[in-house]
């Protein structure tokens, strides 16, 4: 699942994942993502931190509180690449952090690593 509000980033990420054989659900905001998760349980979520209506930290907290989603890997995406931003993301409990702009080869490798582990 990709949760991203920037249309170009969303399209690039979906295209990249589909080209590598992944089935992709997508949503453009945190509230919509939680609605979608009430009906679908993905293996992994790529979650933008800066989302409208509900930021990625709030979405992650709600995901963490849902026992149905305890095995779902959640990877934060953010254009904020300051060291303290990454530390805050990791401290919140995300499974990983991927800075934007996305390194396409690195993204696929990280996803495969998370899904095989």
Q: How many residues does the chain have?
A: 117
**Digitized pLDDT (tens) for each residue of the chain, 117 residues in all:** 999 999 999 999 999 999 999 999 999 999 999 999 999 999 999 999 999 889 999 999 999 999 999 999 999 999 887 889 889 999 999 999 999 999 999 999 999 999 997
Residue in the block written with tokens 């293996």: 43
Give the other-Cβ count within 10 Å of 19's Cβ: 10
Phi first, then psi: give them for residue 23, nearest 5 degrees. -85, 135
The domain of 58 spans: 2-116
Domain with residue 12: its CATH number is: 3.40.50.2300
CB 78 within 8 A of CB 50: yes
Structurally, how many domains does the chain consist of? 1
CB 13 within 8 A of CB 6: no
Closest CA to 102 of 91, 93, 111, 94: 111
């Amino acid at each position: 699942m990709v949760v991203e509000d920037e249309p170009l980033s969303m399209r690039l990420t979906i295209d990249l994942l589909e080209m590598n054989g992944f089935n992709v659900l997508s949503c453009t905001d945190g509230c919509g993502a939680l609605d979608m998760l009430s009906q679908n349980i993905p293996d992994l979520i790529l979650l933008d931190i800066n989302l409208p209506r509900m930021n990625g930290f709030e979405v992650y907290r709600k995901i963490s509180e849902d026992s149905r989603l305890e095995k779902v890997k959640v990877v934060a995406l953010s254009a904020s690449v300051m060291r303290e931003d990454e530390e805050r993301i990791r401290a919140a409990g995300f499974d990983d952090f991927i800075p934007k702009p996305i390194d396409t080869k690195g993204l696929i490798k990280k996803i495969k690593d998370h899904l095989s582990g």
